[in-house]
Amino acid sequence: MALVRKDLLLELRSREVVPAMATFVLASFVLFRFALGGDRLGGGVRAATGLLWVAVVFTAMLGLSRAFASEREHRIWDGLLSTPVDRSALWLAKACSTFVFLVVMQAVALPLFWLFFLQEGRPPSIPVLVAALLLADAGIASLGAMLAGLASASHAREVLLPVLFLPFAVPLVLVGVQVTVATISPQTSAMDTLERLGFLGLYATIFALLGWALFEYVVED
């Protein structure tokens, strides 16, 4: 908890990550809106939902690129690693703070998304969309904290993180779009929705277990 509190305190004081993510997601929506259809988005709500998930993933990557910035820039890793704290706890703390940042960013992004893209047509189910985003956030935070830790040790970290992260994000976007779009159709069964949400939960669980087990080898070179 001390490490999570530290990350939140640092963000409150620096206002470095969350405002950048919120600005990025707003800019993405504006670009999508004008580049793909002006005031009428081709493909309607389905296409818009896809854009939302793509924006979520790219915005998350922006946040993850700064996840270990303080530790790297001031060589604080040496201080943290010389303490007896479990390396898995270092990963867990970073995953938790990343999760919080993602949720805050999406609290800003969702109303904007609605405003920009969902004024016409039948919208997706809000509870399902929120549940899918929260599960996806858990997966992104679990995987992302591990990969950001790995990339932070590299000189090519700005290139390495997207190269490592984006392939793993593909299933998230595919299933996230499917589960959200499916709720537009009145014929979609609750079981289908639960199965897809279950996949997102499984994704988060797998990468949480991997992060917990492997982070020691990621940070101790």
Partner 1 sequence: MSSSEAVRCSGLVRRFGERDALAGLDLAVADGEVVLLTGPNGAGKTTLLRVLATVLRPSAGSASLYGHALPGQAAPARRLVGYAGHEPLLYPLLTAAENLRLYSALHGSDGAEVESALEGVGMARRAGDRVEELSRGMRQRLSLARAMLHGPRLLLLDEPTSGLDDEGRGVLLTLLEQPGRTAVVATHEPDWFAGVAGRAVAIDRGRVAV
Token readout for 190 is: 């609750």
Residue 220 CB, nearest approach to partner 1 (Å):
6
Closest CA to 63 of 128, 117, 108: 108
Which listed residue (120, 158, 195, 220) binds partner 1 by CB under 8 A? 220
User: Which amino acid does the sequence have at 130?
Assistant: V
The nearer residue to partner 1, 70 or 188, going by C-beta atoms, is 70
- Binders of partner 1 among residues 66 to 85 (CB under 8 A) are 70, 74-85
Angle, nearest 10°, between helix axes 18-35 and 44-64?
A: 150
Residue 141 CB, nearest approach to partner 1 (Å):
21
The answer to whether 202 and 143 are in contact (CB under 8 A) is: no
Q: Answer positive or negative: Cα dihedral of 111, 116, 120, 122.
A: negative
Q: Could you give the string, one character per residue 4-33, with x where binding to partner 1 holds by CB under 8 A and - elsewhere?
A: --x--xx--xx-------------------
Which listed residue (38, 156, 186, 221) binds partner 1 by CB under 8 A? 221
Which residues 6+ apart lie within 8 Å of 65 measured at CB? 148, 157, 158, 161
If one asks whether residue 190 binds partner 1 (CB under 8 A), the answer comes out as no
Where along the sequence are the contacts to partner 1 (CB under 8 A)? 1-3, 6, 9-10, 13-14, 70, 74-85, 220-221
